[in-house]
Structure 1
Amino acid sequence: MSDYQNIRLEYAPPVAKLTLARGDKLNPLNWSTIKELKGAVAEIEGHDDIDFVILTGEGRAFSAGGDLEGYIHLYAHPNEFRAFLNDFFEMLNSIEAARAIWIAAVNGPCVAGGIELLLACDMAVAADTAKISDGHLNFGQLPGAGGSQRLPRAIGMLRAKHLMLTGEMIFAEQAERWGLVTIVAPAAELLSRVDALVRDMQGKSRVGLKGMKKLANMTLFEPYEHGLKLEMDYVHTYATTEPDATEGLMAFKEKRAPAFKGPRSGDWK
């Protein structure tokens, strides 16, 4: 377990569990927490034996969002506020671009900055008691770390505008229908459901998982036609250089479980 003040980071390879650990305050994303999260992402990326990260909150909330009282000071000091935004932006981007698969385990209220954190993850599983809201406009705020761009891509423009313009809080079941989360589990079973999801993915090729994440993320950054070409080039390299690609075919042919071995050398990009 690493030494942080606002978060807990625990390792059980191939899984790391990252917990927002200010449950008494509903796990606010203040600047010090964001800096710790940024450091934790970099730390996890340095562990080649970590393929999955479970991100959750302590107590009854995932995260109630930013530290609104702290913003009073930041708004009066524009250079500090810009540095804060840069840290928040870079932290979320580093999760999105990480080698590991990040899974948000939404255990309770997930609001404003909390939804921005959720949207940077690769998957989201919610407790049936969880509630999710953009919530920025409820206090006259705007998203500043990518939420206005990621939310429409995740659930479509009309639904995203509904959440952003109304600040409405939706229950987990509606979030699932809208595609904001993909699994809803009883609150007492949330982490065990996430663990089962991780165990299922552990049977996949490590290098294939990372490659699939990279391909999916291309849709966020590349024009459609260019993305199609990049996918073709990417799969050509994977299929012709990585043993896992051929191993999967041989396992199918021989009617056995595949024995994936990971990247041929180093970490396949």
Structure 2
Amino acid sequence: MDRYTTILYEIRGPVCTITLNRPDKYNAINREMAAELIDAFHRVRDEASVAVVVLAGNGKAFCTGGDLSIFPSLAEHTESMNWLAHQGYGVGKAIELCEKVVIAKVTGHCLAGGLELALMCDLVYARESAKFGTTEINMGILPGWGGTVRIARAMPIYRAREIIYSGRKDYTARDMYEMGFLTRVFKDDEFEARFTDVVGNISSKKIIALRMAKEVMGRSLECGSLDAALALERNAIQWLTYAPDIQAMMDTFRNQPDDLVAKQKQANAASDERH
């Protein structure tokens, strides 16, 4: 899929931007967008020069959830299961396993499936005027692309429950930040500059170290004990340490004792000559 119809895919230096591009539908997710997101995140995983992926929305919304055109097909039992287990699960795993730092750039509305997309990302930055919520319970159902589960892992449980139970769609970015959901909130007139600084800082780091940090932090939550998680961390650090460029740096430390001895001998010889 070199040419997408519902998303934009652009690489500039170490940053890939994937933009939901159905602004007339407030970037609502249809089957084509789901397939294209899966393809794009699989594709960016293999882009060796990319450190960071920015997930953004074109127009007035980040994403307002599932497209209404999907719902008639969900009346059929198997199609409903596929939407959850294939498209929804597939998008989440594609983002999780893309091995890049994925940063959600939230402007406008971030509702229902849109909030679920944000939850799939590693970091979530929002414009102060953004609005959030999960509205599925108003229809007698629950978020089905991992929202009910991921939100309980992303913020204090009592606040996560309020968001799911209430069905509100008017939580402000400040509300969500104070409840523990967002990474940062920036004022509207400062947002682009502040967000660009954040992305620039993170994308300047060593790509393999970012990749390993993402994996260790994610997998450590699945470990049965703290000791198992610490072992995972130690192994990751050892693996990183033996990368060729790190070893080249280590060589300078290894050679330092010899250099110091040589310098000391030179100093002693010069002293003897003076006397």
Per the normalisation by structure 2, the TM-score is: 0.83
Q: Which residue number corresponds to residue 128 of structure 1?
A: 128
CA distance in 1, matches of 2:187, 2:144: 32
Provide the secondary structure at the position in 2 that maps to 1:221: coil
TM-score (norm 1): 0.85
Distance 2:199 2:24 in 1: 29
Q: Which amino acid aligns with 2:211?
A: K
Match of 1:80 in 2: 79
Give how far 1:187 is off.
Answer: 2.7
TM superposition shift of 1:17? 0.9
Deviation at 1:242, TM superposition (A): 5.4
Partner deviation per Cα, 1:170-201 (whole Å, 9 max, x = no partner): 10112112221111123344333222112112
Tell me if the contact between 1:22 and 1:28 (Cα under 8 Å) persists in the aligned partners. Answer: yes
CA distance in 2, matches of 1:150, 1:118: 10
> What is aligned with 1:175?
176
* 1:234 corresponding residue in structure 2: 236
Distance 2:174 2:39 in 1: 33
Q: Which amino acid aligns with 1:233?
A: N
What is the aligned partner in structure 1 of residue 245 from structure 2? 243
* Aligned residue in 2 for 1:208: 209
Correspondence for 1:192: 193
Identity %: 29
Of the structure 1 ranges 182-191 and 196-205, higher mean CA displacement relative to structure 2 is found in 182-191
Question: Does the CA contact (< 8 Å) of 1:107 and 1:187 recur in 2?
Answer: no
- Structure 1: how far apart are the matches of 2:192 and 2:249? 32
- The residue aligned with 1:64 is 64
Equivalent runs, 1:16-55 vs 2, <5 Å: 16-55=16-55
Once the two structures are TM-superposed, the CA of residue 67 in structure 1 deviates from its matched residue by 2.0
Deviation, structure 1 residue 28 = 0.5
1:240–1:201 distance in 2 versus 1, CA, 3 Å: same
Aligned partner of 2:142 in structure 1 is 142
- Please tell me whether Structure 1 or Structure 2 has the larger radius of gyration of its CA atoms: 2
Q: Using a 3 Å threshold, how does the CA distance of structure 1 residues 202 and 141 change in structure 2: closer, same or farther?
A: same
Structure 1 residue 227, shift from structure 2 partner: 2.0
Q: Distance in 1 between matches of 2:5 and 2:249?
A: 44
Q: 1:248 to 1:61 in 2, by over 3 A?
A: farther
Secondary structure in structure 2 of the residue aligned to 1:28? coil
Q: Deviations over 1:108-161 (max 9, x none)?
A: 111111111001111111001001112211222312221111101100211111
SS at match of 2:178: helix
For 1:64 and 1:245, the matched residues in 2 are separated by 48
Partner of 1:266: none
Amino acid at match of 2:82: A
Give the letter aligned to residue 230 of structure 1: L
Output the aligned Cα RMSD: 2.4
In structure 2, list runs of 5 or more residues that go unmatched: 257-275
Once the two structures are overlaid, the 10-residue window that deviates more, 107-116 or 140-149, is 140-149
Does the Cα contact within 8 Å between 1:239 and 1:246 map onto a contact in 2? no
Question: How many angstroms apart in 2 are the aligned matches of 1:204 and 1:120?
Answer: 22
Tell me the matched-pair count: 251
* Runs of at least 5 residues in structure 1 that lack an aligned partner in the other structure: 255-269
Query: Contact 1:105/1:190 (CA < 8 Å) preserved in 2?
Result: no
Letter in 2 for 1:89: Y
Corresponding residue for residue 116 of structure 2: 116
Partners of 2:68 and 2:94 lie apart in 1 by: 24
